[in-house]
Amino acid sequence: MFIVSLSYTAPLERIDAHLAAHREFLAAQYAAGRFLMSGPKVPREGGIILADAPSRAALEAVLGEDPFRQAGVARYEITEFAPLMTAPALDAWRQRPSGG
């Protein structure tokens, strides 16, 4: 399991120019089962993605397809973690192998 923290490196006008394509990218990753949750930081200086991937390298390859990364308007910090405790609604994710 991974937490991806995006930090914008460009003004919001440039971010907004790529937002529709970024959201299409997110939708494709949800459909593929890779992303579990995402949303903007508050204040709007980037975003957070909770991702399930078989490896950091696999996740980095997926993130390379993000229009924000391709346009050079965001920086990505990836943190891997092993969930040991969850809310009951998330029990299916506790101590399960990554990537599906």
Per-residue pLDDT tens over the stretch 23-44: 999 999 999 999 999 999 999 9
Which amino acid is located at 99 in the chain? G
| Contact between 95 and 83 (Cβ < 8 Å) | yes
CATH for 45: 3.30.70.1060
The predicted structure's pLDDT at residue 31: 97
If one counts the domains in the chain, the total is: 1
Sign of CA dihedral 56, 90, 27, 13: negative
Residue 78 belongs to a domain: yes
Q: Which domain holds residue 20?
A: 2-83
State whether residue 85 is helix, strand or coil: coil
pTM of the model: 0.88
Rounded to a whole number of angstroms, the distance between the first and last alpha carbons of the chain is: 10
Structure token digits, residue 66: 């993000």
The predicted structure's pLDDT at residue 83: 85
Q: pLDDT grade, residue 88 (50/70/90)?
A: confident
What is the rounded average pLDDT of the residues 9-19? Answer: 97
